[in-house]
Structures are given as structure tokens and as C-alpha cells.
Amino acid sequence: MREEFKTLRYLLSEAVRRRPYDGLLFSGGLDTSVIAALNPKITAITVSLEGDAEDIYYSDLLAKKFGFKYVHYAVGVNEALLAIPEVIRILGSFDPAIPNDLAAFFGLKKAKELGIAAIATGDASDELFAGYSFMQEVDDLEGYIRRITKNMNFSSNEICRFFGLKIVQPFIDKNIVDFALSLPREMKIREKSGKVWGKWILRKVFEDILPEEIAWQSKRPLEFGSGMTRLREVISAKISDDEFKEKQQVYPVKFLNKEHLYYYEVFRKVVSVIPAPKDTEKSCPGCSTGLKIDAFHCKVCGYGLIFCTREVNKMKKKECKAKKNVIACRKKCKAKGTGLSHYVISDKK
């Protein structure tokens, strides 16, 4: 085994040993499967919208292999819709990634009900080891990862705080972060059997422990694997074209679509106003709240040029080269993988 492989396995094993947990927010994806393999004496929780979701297959497969306790929480559509105000209130955000956050919310809610004290997540693995498809097109990948590690923030932290749960995030262990930052691009992104893979080193390190279809599965965002993404169509249908057009002119927010508007109106009810920028902050182009000077993503509205590969490479705060409108930029960039919340919102100035 290569020295880098031995080092990563040791560091992850030590991170798990030092911070024990009795629960796992489990999708059956590579990251949480690694965590489950390193500590099978846990209760793993998988969430799906109703009973139909891709995550169920992979979660069940690994639970049978390692013999850990496995709980599947099937959430109804109405149950999910009713939880949106709570999630928006907890996060103080109307980011379009809400379906992703809903899956985490219900998993952590179930953990609380089961009496779990400390729950692990796979947060930060994609950021550190280039798990997002758009990262394959970033010119200075090492520099980009170094920059985002300074501002990593995950909704699971705030939701765990709400439920009074201790969160364990093995991939954020300082030794693992430092190790990941020391790795060259080719250890994170590499071709295998004619396909380019992110998180290559993580897959190689654990391919002798995990089933091949787990270790070498494609990236599956939580909202897709859980099926929560189907809520987008349900929510969008609640707002007519005329209403959307009218409210685009009324509200001081650049909406991506009807769903984004829906979340904002919920935000207005449960959170109230968008916070104004502080003296040391810049103004978000999407909602005018305050952002750190070096921030790429707005936690309040979801604005994020960083999701556009063109902008990652330019490292500038300008609009997408498409030089059209928000939707045009989204359509052009989506096919190449637009990142964490699968959207691009460009500044039309």
C-alpha cells in the first residue's frame, strides 16, 4: 500500500477513535460508508422522501455487510413541506439547497428520538478531496481547496445545535485537513476505467474494505439520493407565472426560480428581515446581506458565483461569461456540475 494511503487510513481511524459517536447520518455514499466501516457499532439513519430513494439500496447493502443497526426514516411529502419553516428558521436562510437540508433535518430529528447522543456526518470530504464534479475543471484546484477550507460551514452543525446533539465530523479533524491540503491534484482527481473520479485517494484507501459498488459509486447529492429533490416540483407548482413575475419586481432579491421565491416568503414569516451588511463586510449581490470579503457563497439567499466553473477559474467577482440572465447562466453551467446546491446565480450588472 502506498505511503499516502496508509497515512489517510491511519488519520481517519484516529479521528474516529478520538471522537466516538453512537449514531451516523447515513446515505450509503462513499464518505458515510467509510465512517460506518471504521465504527460499525453505531445506529445508522437513512432518510428518504416516502419509500423511493437511491440511498436506500446502498445503505441496506452496507448495513448487511457490517452488521450495524440501520434505521430507515421514510418522510411523507406533507411532512416534509410542513418542516420547511422550521428548517428555514433554524438556518436563517432561504438558500435553494433547502431540500438537501430537509434530509439532514429529518435524520437528526430521528437521532434525537432514538436517544442518540453523538452523531457523525460525512461533512467536508467533498470539499477536501475534490468530490464535486465542477472541481475537475478548476485550474488551481489546490489553491481553491485551500481557500474554501477557511470558510467551511455545514447546515448539520446548526441543526444538531437545535436538537441538542453532539456532532462528530471526522473529515474536519485538523490532521486530515492538513493532509488533504498537502496532496497534489492527481491524488484527488484521476481516471479509472475510462471515467474521471473525484476523491480518488479515498476510494483507493478503502476499496479493500468497502464493496466495489460503494467505493466506486458516483457522487450522489443528498437531496437526490434521499429523493427530497422531488419537492422542488411540488413547491414550484404553488406559485403561478404571473405571481412570480410580479413579486420579482417587488422583493429586493434576485430569485433563481419560483421555489426560491417560496422559500423567501417563508423566511419573511419565520425569520423576518435580511440582515444588513456590517462595516467590515461586502454586500451580497443576490439579497444585499453582509458577506465576508473573501466569501464565495451567501448563507442567507444561496447566491454563489463559485458554483460556476468559469468563475472559479477566474477567481473574480464578476458575472458569468454567458453575460445573459440568471437562468441562462444556470442552464449553461448545470451540465458541467455546478457544485454544492446545484445552482448558479449570476450578477447581471
Whole-number Å distance between alpha carbons of 207 and 202: 8
Domains and CATH numbers, the chain: 3-228 (3.40.50.620)
Helix/strand/coil for 84: helix
Closest-CA residue to 97 (of 266, 260, 258, 206): 260
* Separation between Cα atoms, residue 15 and residue 36, nearest integer Å: 13
Q: What is the pLDDT of residue 158?
A: 97
Whether the Cβ atoms of residue 51 and residue 219 lie closer than 8 Å to each other? no
Helices 3-18, 30-38: axis angle to 10 degrees equals 70
Q: Which of 73, 61, 133, 89 shows the shortest CA–CA distance to 339?
A: 133
From first to last of its 349 residues, the chain has per-residue pLDDT tens of 699 999 999 999 999 999 999 999 999 999 999 999 999 999 999 999 998 899 999 999 999 999 999 999 999 999 999 999 999 999 999 999 999 999 999 999 999 999 999 999 999 999 999 999 999 999 999 999 998 898 888 999 999 999 999 999 999 999 999 999 999 999 999 999 999 999 999 999 999 999 999 999 999 999 999 999 999 999 999 999 999 999 999 999 999 999 999 999 999 999 999 999 999 999 999 999 999 887 878 999 999 743 443 443 443 333 333 333 333 333 334 333 333 333 333 332 2
Question: Could you give the CA distance from residue 104 to residue 124 in angstroms, rounded to a whole number?
Answer: 15
187 Cβ contact partners less than 8 Å away, ≥ 6 residues apart = 4, 200, 201
- φ, ψ for residue 146, nearest 5 deg: -60, -40
Q: Which residue has the cell 458577506?
A: 291
The DSSP symbol for 218 reads P
- Quote the pLDDT of residue 318: 34
* Residue 237 to residue 253: CA distance in whole angstroms: 20
Q: What is the DSSP letter of 235?
A: H
DSSP reduced 3-state for 118: strand
Q: How many other CB atoms sit within 10 Å of the CB of residue 239? A: 16
Q: Which of 42, 81, 47 is nearest to 63 (CA)?
A: 42
> How would DSSP label each residue in 335-346?
TT---TTS----
Cell numbers at 287, concatenated: 439579497
pLDDT value for 215: 97
| Angle, vertex CA 155, rays to CA 150 and CA 160, nearest 5 | 115
How far is Cα 256 from Cα 266, in angstroms, rounded to an integer?
16
Q: Please state, as a whole number, how many other Cβ atoms lie within 10 Å of the Cβ of residue 2.
A: 11
C-alpha cell at 171: 473529515
